[in-house]
Amino acid sequence: MNTSQVASVFERCAAENRAALIAYLMAGDPSLADMPALLEAAAAGGADIIELGIPYSDPLADGPTIQAAAQRSLRAGTTFDGVLAMIGTLDRNRVAVPIIAFTYFNPVFVRGVERTARGLAAAGFAGTIIPDLPPEEAGGTADAFASNGVALTFLVAPTTPSERIPMIAERSSGFVYVVSRMGVTGAGQTLDGSVAALVDRLRPLTDKPLAVGFGVSTPEHARAIAAYADGVIVGSALIDRLSSAADKPAAVRELCAALALASSRDQIK
Amino acid sequence: MNGPDERGYYGEFGGRFVPEVLVEPLRELEAAVTGAFADDGFWSEYKRLLRDYVGRPSPLFEAKNLARRSRGARIVLKREDCNHTGAHKILNTVGQGLLARRMGKRRIIAETGAGQHGVATATVGALLGMPVEVYMGAEDVERQSLNVYLMELLGARVRVVESGSRTLKDATNEAFRDWAATACETFYVIGSVVGAHPYPMLVRRFASTIGEEARVQCRQRFGRSPDHVVACVGGGSNAMGIFAGFIDDAQVRLWGVEAGGHGLERLGLHAASIGAGTVGVLHGARTLVLQDADGQIAPTHSISAGLDYPGVGPEHAHLARTGRARYVMITDDEARVSFERLARLEGIVPALESAHAVAFAERLAGTLPADAIVLVNLSGRGDKDAVRFALARAATAATA
C-alpha cells in the first residue's frame, strides 16, 4: 500500500459514479484483538478506505464519542507499536482496501516522525491524517512521510480563507479532507448546509479528490455529500453503533453497507 | 528582548499546532494584537483600568520576619495578592477582555484550574457586559468551590469537565473544542503563557506589568535590582510577568518553582514539566510535557490546582534550555509549611501556588549573605485554600 493506492481508490470510485466511503474505526476499541474482525466487516460492508484512529489521551479535534473510544482503547492497553503489529499481521486479502491512520501530532513527534513514517509504511498503512498539524508546522513530517510512501492528508475547514486553500491542497496527498462544519468530530442530526458551498469553493483551486467528514452520520447525509464530493467520511456514527451492539462486526458491516449504497450516485433520483 | 520569532517560536519551543479550523482565528487574533499593541488608546484604557479597577501598582513589601527566620538574605514580596479578585490573573483578563471587545466578539470563554483565572475572566465579562463560560475540571470544582460560587455570582456559567484527569488540562481541551465550534463570535481568554502563538506572547505582555513595576519599585526602595527573582510555575504566566522586568539584566538570577507534589520519583505524583518532562506538543505549542514514552499525556498531581498541569509555557522551556532561568521544585508538604508560616509571621495568607515560591525563597535566602535581595512574586492570596487547609490539618491531627 502506498500513496498512489489512495488516489487510485478515488479514480475507481469516480469511474463507478460513486463517492468513496471512508469508514473510521478506533484501534483497540474494544481491544486490538477485536480489530481484524471489525476491519474485515468494514471492508465487506463496502468501505473503500478505512481510517484507523490511533488513540491519544488529549484529542483536541474529537468530540465525546471518539474521545470515549480513545479512552477505552488506552485503558485496554493499546500502544502505537501494538497498532502497527496488528495491522502488520492483518490478512490483507480479507481487508483489501487502503488503511490510513488518524492520530495526533504528539504521539508522532515523541516517537520520531521518521520512525513513525517508516513504521506505518512497514505495517502497510497507505496514509495518515494528523488533525492538529497544519501544513505550516509539517515540513519535516511531510518529507519523512513522502520518502516512506505514506500519504499525509491535510484538512480544509469552514474558516480556511480561499488564499490558503491552494497551499493546503498542494501539500495534501491522497485527497483533501474537507471539514464539514465548525467544531469537532461527532455524529450530527443535520448536515451543515454550508459544506456544499465549501466544496464548490475548493473545486477551482485543486484537482485532488475532496472527501467530506465531521458530523456525517446517516445514509441521507452520505447521499447528499455524494452529489458534490468525491468521498464521504463517517466516524462517530460507526463508533456509536458498534459500542452499543452485541454483534459488533455485524453492526459495522450493516452501517457501512447502507452508507456505501447511499454513496453511489446511480441511485440518486 | 524578546518575543518569539514570526512563527511563534522561542528557540525550538512554541509554534501553532492546532486543528485547521483554528488557524485562521489565531491569525485574526495575531493581527488584532499587533494593532492593539501599537495603539496608544488601547494602552491608556488598559492602564486606567489597572489603576482604578485592579488597584495598581501592587505594593512591594519586605518580609522581615520571614527573612529573620531564614537567617540570610532580605526577602521582598511583590504583592499580587492585593489585586482585585486576589491574584495576578486579572492583569491578563482585563487585557484580553479589551481585545475581545476591540475584535467585536460577543462571547468569552476560559479554562481555569484553581478558579482564579475563571474568577478574573468572569469579573471582566461583568465589567464589559459580555457573557462568560468557564471550563473547569470536576476535581478542581470540588477543591476550589469558593471560586465556583464567585464565578456564578459574577454571572458566568461554569462548565464542569468530567473527561480525562478532570483537571486543568482537560478544561483547556474543552475550551479549545468550544472555540473550534464558535470562533467567529467567541474570544478564548487563555489563562497562562501557554497555547498556540500568539497566546504565550500576548499573555506575557499583559503579565509583564508585574515585572515592570517591581523593577521600578526595587530601584526606588533599594537603589538596585534584586539579586534573585522567584516565582511559581504552572503554565507560568506570573513567572513570565515578573521575569519580564529583569530578563535583560544578566546579574539577576531567575528561579521558576514547579509543583513537586509527592516527589519526582514517578509520573503522576507531581507537576514538574520542566524538571521531569520531555519535549512534546500540548495545547498547540511545542514545549516540555509530562508524558509517557508513547506520547500520552501523563496525569499530574499538586496540592495546588493552579500548578496541576502537565505542560509549561514555551518561553519557560526556552529559558530552561538556554539556562537564563533555573527551575526547581517544592513538594506539597513544603508548600503547606510555607503557606502557614507566611500567615503566622507576616499576616499574609498566600495562595498555595504562591506558597511554593515562598518556600523556595526561604530555602534560597538561607544560603545567601544578609545584603542579598530575593524578590518573590506573591502571585495570589489564599482565601480559596483556607478551608481545605484547615480540613487537612484537622484530619492529620485526628490520625496523629
Q: Is A156 at the interface with chain B, CB within 8 A?
A: yes
Of A135, A173, A125, A190, the closest CA to residue A157 belongs to A135
Tell me which residue in B181, B184, B295 faces A109 most closely, judged by beta carbons: B295
Q: Is residue A268 a part of any domain in this protein?
A: no
The alpha-carbon gap from B384 to the nearest alpha carbon of chain A, in Å, equals: 29
The alpha-carbon gap from B74 to the nearest alpha carbon of chain A, in Å, equals: 44
Q: Which amino acid is at B396?
A: T
Of B363, B385, B386, the closest CA to residue B376 belongs to B363
Q: Check residue A3 and give its pLDDT.
A: 55
How far apart, in Å, are the Cα atoms of A235 and each of A27, A47, B178?
Answer: 12, 12, 20
Same domain, residue pair B166 and B278: no
Across the interface, whether the CB atoms of B294 and A183 are under 8 A apart is answered: no
Let me know: does B246 contact B391? Beta carbons within 8 Å.
no
- Selected for mutation to probe chain A from B29, B184, B294 (highest A CB count within 10 Å) is B294
Q: Is residue A243 a part of any domain in this protein?
A: yes
Let me know: does B101 contact B131? Beta carbons within 8 Å.
no
- Selected for mutation to probe chain B from A32, A136, A137 (highest B CB count within 10 Å) is A137
Identify the closest residue of chain B to A185 by CA–CA distance.
Answer: B177
Across the interface, whether the CB atoms of B297 and A57 are under 8 A apart is answered: yes
> Which residue carries 506572547 as its cell?
B201
Residues 47-106 of chain B with CB under 8 A from chain A are none
Q: Does the annotation count B111 as an active-site position?
A: yes
Q: Is A106 at the interface with chain B, CB within 8 A?
A: yes
Q: Is residue B224 a part of any domain in this protein?
A: yes
Q: Which residues of A touch B183 (CB under 8 A)?
A: 159, 182
Same domain, residue pair B215 and B128: no
Of A254, A262, A242, A261, the closest CA to residue A191 belongs to A262
Beta strands in chain A (DSSP E): 20-26, 49-53, 99-102, 127-129, 151-153, 155-156, 176-179, 210-213, 231-234
Q: Is residue A269 a part of any domain in this protein?
A: no
Q: Is residue A47 a part of any domain in this protein?
A: yes
Across the interface, whether the CB atoms of A134 and B180 are under 8 A apart is answered: no
Q: pLDDT per position in chain B (400 positions), as tens?
A: 478 999 999 999 999 999 999 999 999 999 999 999 999 999 999 999 999 999 999 999 999 999 999 999 999 999 999 999 999 999 999 999 999 999 999 999 999 998 999 999 999 999 999 999 999 999 999 988 999 999 999 999 999 999 888 989 999 999 999 999 999 999 999 999 999 999 999 999 999 999 999 999 999 999 999 999 999 999 999 999 999 999 999 999 999 999 999 999 899 999 999 999 999 999 999 999 999 999 999 999 999 989 999 999 999 999 999 999 999 999 999 999 999 999 999 999 999 999 999 999 999 999 999 999 999 999 999 999 998 888 888 888 887 6
Sheet order of strands, B253-261 included:
B60-62, B74-79, B373-378, B228-232, B253-261, B325-331
The alpha-carbon gap from B132 to the nearest alpha carbon of chain A, in Å, equals: 19
Same domain, residue pair B163 and B309: no
Identify the closest residue of chain A to B183 by CA–CA distance.
Answer: A182
Q: Which residues of B touch A57 (CB under 8 A)?
A: 164, 296-297
Q: Which residues of A touch B286 (CB under 8 A)?
A: 109
Same domain, residue pair B103 and B232: no
Across the interface, whether the CB atoms of B18 and A60 are under 8 A apart is answered: yes
Q: Is residue B176 a part of any domain in this protein?
A: yes
Quickly list DSSP for B190-214. --SS-SSTTHHHHHHHHHTHHHHHH
Across the interface, whether the CB atoms of A183 and B181 are under 8 A apart is answered: yes
Q: Is A158 at the interface with chain B, CB within 8 A?
A: yes
Of B325, B311, B307, the closest CA to residue B261 belongs to B307
User: What CA–CA distance (Å, rounded) separates B374 from A139?
Assistant: 44
Range(s) of the domain holding residue A108: 3-263
Same domain, residue pair B224 and B184: no
Domain final position from B203, B219, B254: B203
Sign (positive or negative) of CA dihedral A10, A13, A18, A23: negative
Q: Which residues of B touch A134 (CB under 8 A)?
A: 16-18, 20, 23
- For this complex, say whether ipTM is above 0.95: yes
User: What CA–CA distance (Å, rounded) separates A156 from A75?
Assistant: 32
Across the interface, whether the CB atoms of B20 and A154 are under 8 A apart is answered: yes
Q: Is residue A218 a part of any domain in this protein?
A: yes
Q: Is residue B159 a part of any domain in this protein?
A: yes
Same domain, residue pair B40 and B66: no
Same domain, residue pair B329 and B365: yes
pLDDT < 70: residue spans in chain A:
1-3, 267-269
Of B203, B206, B364, the closest CA to residue B284 belongs to B203
Angle, alpha carbons B19-B20-B23 (nearest 5°): 100
CATH number of the domain encompassing residue A219 = 3.20.20.70
Q: Check residue B400 and give its pLDDT.
A: 67
Q: What is the pLDDT of residues B25-41, one digit of tens each?
A: 999 999 999 999 999 99
Q: Is residue B1 a part of any domain in this protein?
A: no
Domain count, chain B: 2
Q: How many helices (H) and strands (E) does chain B have?
A: 16, 14
Across the interface, whether the CB atoms of B278 and A159 are under 8 A apart is answered: no
Same domain, residue pair B98 and B177: yes
Q: Is residue A132 a part of any domain in this protein?
A: yes
Q: Check residue B143 and give its pLDDT.
A: 83
CATH number of the domain encompassing residue B332 = 3.40.50.1100
Same domain, residue pair B229 and B362: yes
Q: Is residue B2 a part of any domain in this protein?
A: no
Q: Is B34 at the interface with chain A, CB within 8 A?
A: no
Q: Is A5 left (phi over 0), alpha (psi -120 to 50) or beta?
A: alpha
Domain final position from B186, B203, B220: B203
Domain final position from B161, B182, B203: B203
Across the interface, whether the CB atoms of A105 and B17 are under 8 A apart is answered: yes
| Catalytic residue of the set B58, B78, B89, B334 | B89
Q: Is residue A165 a part of any domain in this protein?
A: yes
Same domain, residue pair B231 and B254: yes
Q: Is residue B10 a part of any domain in this protein?
A: no
User: What CA–CA distance (Å, rounded) separates A245 from A241?
Assistant: 6
Domain count, chain A: 1
Across the interface, whether the CB atoms of B180 and A61 are under 8 A apart is answered: yes
Q: Check residue A269 and give its pLDDT.
A: 47
Same domain, residue pair B136 and B259: no
Q: Is residue B12 a part of any domain in this protein?
A: no
Same domain, residue pair B116 and B159: yes
Q: What is the pLDDT of residues A115-124, one digit of tens each?
A: 999 999 999 9
Q: Which residues of B touch A107 (CB under 8 A)?
A: 294-296
Identify the closest residue of chain A to B25 by CA–CA distance.
Answer: A159
Q: Is residue B7 a part of any domain in this protein?
A: no
Across the interface, whether the CB atoms of B296 and A107 are under 8 A apart is answered: yes
Q: Check residue B396 and give its pLDDT.
A: 81
User: What CA–CA distance (Å, rounded) separates A23 from A38?
Assistant: 11
Q: Is residue A48 a part of any domain in this protein?
A: yes
Q: Is A17 at the interface with chain B, CB within 8 A?
A: no
Let me know: does B289 contact B215? Beta carbons within 8 Å.
no
Range(s) of the domain holding residue B223: 58-86+208-399
